Structure 1
Amino acid sequence: MEILKADIEDHETLTSITKKSKAYWGFSEDILKEWEHLLTVTKDYIAKNKVYKLVQNNEIIGYYSYFFTDEKTIKLDNIFILPEFIGKGFGKILMNDFLKKTKQLDIDKITLDAEPNAEIFYKTFGFETIGKLESSIKDRYLPIMELQIDNKNIS
Structure 2
Amino acid sequence: MKRTGLILAAALLLAPAFLPKALVAPLGAAAPGAALSPVEQAAAFRGAGFLMVRGKWQACGDPGTESYMPGTIEAVRDLNGDGLPEAVIIEGSGFCFGAAGTGYWLMSQRPDQTWKVMSRGQGIVQVLPTRGAAKWPDIEIGGPGFCFQVLRWNGRAYVHNRYQYEGRACRP
* Greater relative contact order structure (CA < 8 Å, 6+ sep): 1
TM (norm. structure 2) is: 0.32
TM (norm. structure 1) is: 0.34
Higher strand share: 2
Higher helix share: 1
